[in-house]
Amino acid sequence: MKNKGLLLSFLIIVTSWSWPLAAQQQPHEIVWAANIAPPFHIVSGPYANQGLCDALVDAFKEALPNTKHKVEYLPQLRIGMLWEQEKNICFPCMIHRSNEQELIAFSNPTHTYPTHGIITRPGLVAELIEKYGNPIDLELLLRDQLYRFGQPVGRLYGKLQPLLDEYVIGTPQHIDVSGDTANTSMMSMILSKRLDFTIDYPMVKRFYEETEGRSLAFIPVTQLVGDIILGAVACTKNAWGDDTVRQINEVIPEVQNNPHFIQAQDFWLESSPR
């Protein structure tokens, strides 16, 4: 009986040691919440899997080989809901904003973007510049409510958002465009005169021109002149997210030197819009 008691005690001790060890051997998992919005993430066509954020996620996969990676394509609004529910996800291409720290744990910056501007049809450029300058004073443009503005559902515009909320959101001059092809649909609507302009990065215009073969125009706005837009990874603000961001920060220098990611930036983030 004494030997049996010693054996039982030994098994309990071994189990108490081995269980935490087995738990520690489970790989850390990052669920990358990707939003289908070319050219950030591209899921079809000639540039499939060659978007800027596709390249960024691939670079993190290479830099974190002992981490399990999973990509899920989700609408922007759904991603926000998952953050509110503290589900463990990371959004790879978030604009780094210091005032959004409640639900989001930001990594260090990974890259920079050219600033947003007006994307419109070439035939409307001279009229807009004559009225509102070059760069365009966005507040004057929106205040007049003469031109129809379109945006993807759930899209936000940082420091420009208060102007949009004040002058056009909820008015007949504002149109929300839904679906995975919202950006492409908006550009076609602009060229067919169903919309007059949207606000976005030069690379969104570039993607449309590369894939559709039709030309658009880009005009900078005064409210963003001199701004630097930083991209970063955004993870859920909880213990998992804090640990994930720590691991991500450790490999960002390696990611920034990844040839595939550098190539994607050179192609999509060219400084001078075509």
State residue 25's pLDDT score.
56
State residue 103's pLDDT score.
79
From first to last of its 274 residues, what are the pLDDT tens digits of the chain? 444 444 444 333 333 344 344 444 577 999 999 988 899 999 999 999 999 999 999 999 999 999 999 999 998 888 989 999 999 999 999 988 766 667 799 999 999 999 999 999 999 999 999 999 999 999 999 999 999 999 988 788 888 999 999 999 999 999 999 887 888 999 999 999 999 999 999 999 999 999 999 999 999 999 999 898 899 999 999 999 999 999 999 999 999 999 999 999 999 987 544 4
Helices (H), 45-92: 52-63, 76-84
Distances (CA, A) of 123 to 127, 128, 129, 194, 201: 8, 10, 11, 14, 20
- CB 54, CB 45: distance < 8 Å: no
pTM assigned to the model: 0.82
The whole-angstrom separation of Cα 175 and Cα 220 is 21
Q: How many C-beta neighbours within 10 Å does residue 142 have? A: 23
